[in-house]
Structure 1
Amino acid sequence: MSRRDAAVETVLRKRWPDPACWDAVVDAVCSAESSYDADQVLIQAGTAIARHADRIAVDLRRQQGSFGTAVGRGVTVRALALAGTGDLRALPALHSLAEHCGLPYSRPEARVMAALPPAPAELAAVMRTKLRRDGDRYHGNTTALEVLALCGADAALAVDDVAMRLDTQYAYDAMRVLGRIGPPAAATADRLAAYATGRGKGARGSYPRRAAWAHWKVTGDPALALDVCGAAVRTGTASHGLPFLADLGPLAAAHAAPVRRLMESPGAWTRTYAAHAYWRITGDPGPAIPALLAQVDPAWDGDPAMPVREAVRTQGEIGAPAVSAAPLLRRILAQGERLGRPRAGVRILADQAYVRTLTEALEGIDGWGK
């Protein structure tokens, strides 16, 4: 096995690889020894390669050519890797890629771009361009909307472009973006209300709950969200309404009793969402903590059927009252192997997300009141 292949295998498998392994990956990608696997690993590296940012930025400019406008896989890999470190020098390349339909179409790769916290408005402008250039392409829309949702209110300039997706197959994702943008998206309130009441084009399944939640976020009026999401809890389609009731918090006090009953549901996701919602609504962590702790399997391998990460995150939000979970969370965080279930192309990203959740949960529990 070559040095490059050994390094790629190690960083895919080990949560805390020797920094020399990351050095070898950067060397491979910035030379003629690059490979698809090495590229995929570099895109997922994040701050692990921050010390190589200058080298990657130089190589990115070389890939772009003398005019700085060339696009292609080499430019994409380096721009995403640089973005993952939080380096703003990635932005011009991302803009150029968006202009030429060169940004990636997979959600995990797109989310790497959200690692540019100093520049969410500029990142939102890139995604707005992507929406306009990609037209009806499925992944082009879903990835752009994913990142715009992460930009929150900084995506306000994209409201019209997002609203255009409300009558398409991307409506559910568009509602999430509009809700995250909030009051600057108030002009979409009537259309969101139509979806929430079943009058929107294609309104079905969980659309009404998300639409009602988004309506509350853009208008500040919780009445529709309380009615629609509360009805979901009472009629047995609760898993789609519980996260929104949790966001409403004490405003949803009238629904506390049915939410608590759902903590005994046979479905793990429903139990977890119900525990989170009950705590957010009532402020009482007592019933929620054991329900959440029961979902934290130390042998979890990333199986999406299990709400382990969500249970951990909620315990961190609860803080000191969840102190009984701290020893288990520390043991999980100290494990040397990455999550094994996600495919190689997203394994590092998935594991990094889990590590962040564990770390932030422990900070929430240990740092309560400081």
Structure 2
Amino acid sequence: MPRLLGLLADDRTWTAAATALACIGRAGSPTRESPAARSAGDGADANLAACVYWKVTGEPGPCLERLGPIATADLPHPALHRPADLGAHAARWADRLRALTADREPLAHVEAAHALWAATGDTAHTVPVPASAVRGLAEGAYLPVMPPRYGNPARIRPAARPAADLLRAVPDRDERRRGSGGRRGFVQDEGIRNAVDALLTEGCADHR
């Protein structure tokens, strides 16, 4: 904790330190002043700061205020994944999130489905989305936008089984899933493998 608190004083390390403290949760409550100050501004870290404040204090107010425009925007927002952090507090945006589960943007409908499930437990609109999102990989295709799609299904346990069924044969294929050459390609493939392993673990657990 003392080392992370020290890193909050440096703009170059603030984001990484704040993200780590958010994972620690309530034990990181001594950090409340830094995220509270940043969440009130217009800087690039304002949305993250509001979410960190929620994680370390349990007070959703600043996060709800910051994320309202994200969840209700006319177009999918790059930070659409953040409402999921609020759980049931994000239920006020359920109608908008439900509509976004049918969005054509490659990642928006996956993030919206995860946020909707976290907020309401709705499975009618969330279960079909992960299976649709991972179908390309099951058929041997890989695009750089794919990796974030595999983390959310593993969290939405009711949705994990159909997505896992599609990907069950992927780990045994003698090929790399990558969109780049060199070292980056290895990193991309490893990330995909780890995410698919997590998804299969959740899917198998549900199956049992």
Q: Same fold (TM over 0.5)?
A: yes
Change (3 A) 1:179 1:317: closer
Residue deviations 1:231-262, cap 9 Å, x none? 32123475344322112212211121111122
1:315 aligns with 2:158: no
Amino acid at match of 2:46: P
Change (3 A) 1:217 1:324: closer
1:192 aligns with 2:30: no
1:300 aligns with 2:141: yes
Instruction: Show the counterpart of 2:169.
Output: 331
Q: Which one of the candidate residues 22, 27, 30 is aligned to 1:179?
A: 22
Instruction: Show the counterpart of 2:182.
Output: 344
Residue deviations 1:182-210, cap 9 Å, x none? 334333323312221226xxx14xx2211
Structure 1 residue 175, shift from structure 2 partner: 2.8
Structure 2, unaligned stretches of length 5 or more?
none
* Structural mapping, 1:233-244, within 5 Å: 233-236=71-74, 238-244=76-82
SS at match of 2:122: coil
Amino acid at match of 1:172: T
Structure 1 residue 365, shift from structure 2 partner: 1.3
Q: Which one of the candidate residues 162, 165, 180 is aligned to 2:7?
A: 162
C-alpha distance in structure 1 between counterparts of 2:109 and 2:183, whole Å: 30
Q: For the Cα contact (< 8 Å) 1:318–1:365, is it kept in 2? A: no
SS at match of 2:127: helix
C-alpha distance in structure 2 between counterparts of 1:247 and 1:174, whole Å: 18
Instruction: Count residues in correspondence.
Output: 205
SS at match of 2:180: coil
Instruction: Show the counterpart of 2:90.
Output: 252
* Structural mapping, 1:35-184, within 5 Å: 156-165=1-10, 168-184=11-27
Using CA pairs under 8 Å that are at least 6 residues apart, name the structure with larger relative contact order, 1 or 2: 2
Change (3 A) 1:181 1:320: closer
Structure 1, unaligned stretches of length 5 or more?
1-155
Q: For the Cα contact (< 8 Å) 1:209–1:240, is it kept in 2? A: no
Change (3 A) 1:325 1:217: closer
Query: Could you say which structure has the larger radius of gyration?
Result: 1
Structure 1 residue 318, shift from structure 2 partner: 2.5
Structure 1 residue 266, shift from structure 2 partner: 3.5
Amino acid at match of 1:335: R
Amino acid at match of 1:278: L
Q: Which one of the candidate residues 244, 247, 266 is aligned to 2:104?
A: 266
Residue deviations 1:50-69, cap 9 Å, x none? xxxxxxxxxxxxxxxxxxxx
Change (3 A) 1:322 1:179: closer
Instruction: Show the counterpart of 1:231.
Output: 69
Change (3 A) 1:187 1:176: same
C-alpha distance in structure 2 between counterparts of 1:266 and 1:163, whole Å: 38
Residue deviations 1:53-90, cap 9 Å, x none? xxxxxxxxxxxxxxxxxxxxxxxxxxxxxxxxxxxxxx
TM-score scaled to structure 1, two decimals?
0.50
C-alpha distance in structure 2 between counterparts of 1:267 and 1:170, whole Å: 32
C-alpha distance in structure 2 between counterparts of 1:293 and 1:367, whole Å: 17
Q: For the Cα contact (< 8 Å) 2:4–2:17, is it kept in 1? A: no
CA RMSD of aligned residues (A): 2.4
C-alpha distance in structure 2 between counterparts of 1:174 and 1:357, whole Å: 24
